[in-house]
Amino acid sequence: MSDQATFVETFTVQQFKQEVGTSKIELIKSPKTGKYFIADAAGNSVAAVSKKISKASELTDPVVSQVIGDDGEEFYLMHNKGTGGNASERSW
């Protein structure tokens, strides 16, 4: 996974489960690295988790984005939903 990424598309958790064809996803912490990843119902790794997430409780509004690293590698990344760096001026 690269430090620079181009976000292609963002999915809700439910949409992501449909995208990868699984009934559930699980947040798993690697005992070797201490980093989190997302596994499907069969236990296969299907997404990375943002480096900004150091505790499971920090995933408060998770979404999964399809991204392309600066090395051309395509992958899925779970992170908290953001505002794209722009603060909302109004909402309805």
Whether residue 91 is contained in a domain is answered as no
Model pTM score: 0.82
C-alpha to C-alpha distances, 78 to 67, 81, 89, nearest whole angstrom? 10, 9, 26
Q: Is it the case that residue 1 has pLDDT exceeding 50?
A: no
Q: How many domains, the chain? A: 1
Condensed to tens digits (0 to 9), the pLDDT of residues 44-58 reads 999 999 999 999 999
Whether residue 21 is contained in a domain is answered as yes
Cα maximum dimension of the chain: 45
Whether residue 90 is contained in a domain is answered as no
Which residues constitute the domain of residue 43? 5-80
Q: pLDDT confidence of 5, banded at 50, 70, 90? A: confident
Pairing status of strand 74-80 against strand 45-49: parallel
Which pLDDT value is given to residue 2? 44
Whether residue 52 is contained in a domain is answered as yes
Whether residue 43 is contained in a domain is answered as yes
Q: Is it the case that residue 85 has pLDDT exceeding 70?
A: no
If DSSP codes are grouped into helix, strand and coil, which group holds residue 34?
coil
Closest CA to 82 of 10, 6, 2, 4: 10
Closest CA to 77 of 68, 86, 65: 65
Whether residue 87 is contained in a domain is answered as no
Condensed to tens digits (0 to 9), the pLDDT of residues 6-43 reads 889 999 999 999 999 999 999 999 999 999 999 999 99
Q: Work out the mean pLDDT of the chain and round it to a whole number.
A: 89
Whether residue 23 is contained in a domain is answered as yes
Whether residue 60 is contained in a domain is answered as yes
